[in-house]
Amino acid sequence: MNEVWRESGLMRFSTDALPPDVRFDTWRDILSRKLLHVAIDPLSDRPFRADASLRILPDLRVGAGAIGASLHHRTRGIAASDNDDVTLLVNLSGPFLIRRGDSDLLLGAGDACLVDCSETGAFARTAPGSLLCVRLPRTALGVFARRLDGGAFGRLIPAHTMALRLLVAYVAPLHADAAVSLSALEGRVVVDHVADLIALIIGADSCAAAMQANGALRAARLASVKAYISDRLDAHDLGIDGVAESQGVSPRYVRKLFEGEGTSFSGYVAGERLARAHAMLTSPRFRYRPISAIAFDVGFGDLSYFNRLFRRHYQATPSDVRVAAFEDSRL
């Protein structure tokens, strides 16, 4: 089992390297120790597989990954020994059934449900799929915690819910990017933003303007915009109008998001493309790929503009960076 901890609180684990006969027991131990206290039973005779990651911050745990067919259930004993945290379960793929009392709730891809960690219940995955879990204390929700007892638990949160989509995009780097490292202050801000978005998801609509002022929606919008840009960085027609349309906002709003970070849309895109080009120039995999091809691969259509921008940013030409990288590798 690979467990890799970093100062930022990221752990990754996979059962792939384990003998099939110990995979399930190891996964059960990791899940119940680190994220959600549950009893687990397999639902298939096939070798179990789990490949997941977990980010732990003060007052927040974000886990996601692919999980084999299994039944997770919280007995009275488990529920009684747990605390009053709340967990947002987002089904990313595959069939996922939640049983709460006498009612069953089937989540489709992208659907979510809020559960109370002090309640009994069961979660069934009848076939392999993937799941996102966001767990935090009730107190993190502040005055909106009172809404939890008004029917927030156990109800379907459809995949198209905008606040849900923004939350999924916002927390994605926390469980998917090992390079993300957060200071104590940054971690506190992230927790506050996640709590605000969950409050919106459970129905704090009347306070949307106040939350937007607090920065939660802006931060989530910006994370979603950046994720969209990252996925399409090599597209030569990537422009602010298309990005804004994909997010359901105006180009002016996108500009203001980047201005809030002290940069511009075009400046951010250029910086990301330069960073990707730099990574390719220093990678053995692309050692013999022409620099002009690399510039084109990352989205630049003008080689002279790429060279000029690269030199200004890194104080060296692309050729110098490549030569230095492979000279260092021979030392």
Give the CATH superfamily of 10-231.
Answer: Jelly Rolls (2.60.120.10)
Query: What pLDDT does residue 3 have?
Result: 38
Smallest CA-to-CA distance from 113 within 98, 92, 95, 126 is with 98
Query: What pLDDT does residue 78 have?
Result: 72
Full strand arrangement of the beta sheet holding 39-42: 39-42, 70-74, 121-125, 96-100, 103-107
Query: What pLDDT does residue 213 have?
Result: 42
Under 8 Å between Cβ of 110 and 159: yes
Query: What pLDDT does residue 30 have?
Result: 73
* pTM score of the predicted model: 0.68
326: Cβ contacts below 8 Å, ≥ 6 apart: 284, 287
Residue-level length of the chain: 331
Query: What pLDDT does residue 282 have?
Result: 92
Question: Helices H, strands E: what count in the chain?
Answer: 12, 11
Query: What pLDDT does residue 308 have?
Result: 94
* Domain 274-329 coded CATH 1.10.10: yes
All residue ranges of the chain with pLDDT < 50 are: 1-8, 209, 212-213, 331
Under 8 Å between Cβ of 135 and 89: no
Structure tokens at 87: 């967990």
d(CA 245, CA 115): 33
Q: How far is CA 7 from CA 11, 56, 153, 188, 235, in A?
A: 10, 10, 33, 15, 35
Query: What pLDDT does residue 192 have?
Result: 83
Q: Is 185 left (phi over 0), alpha (psi -120 to 50) or beta?
A: alpha
Domain residue extents for the chain: 10-231, 274-329
Query: What pLDDT does residue 2 have?
Result: 40
Full strand arrangement of the beta sheet holding 50-57: 10-14, 50-57, 60-67, 129-136, 86-93, 112-116
Structure tokens at 311: 């030199």
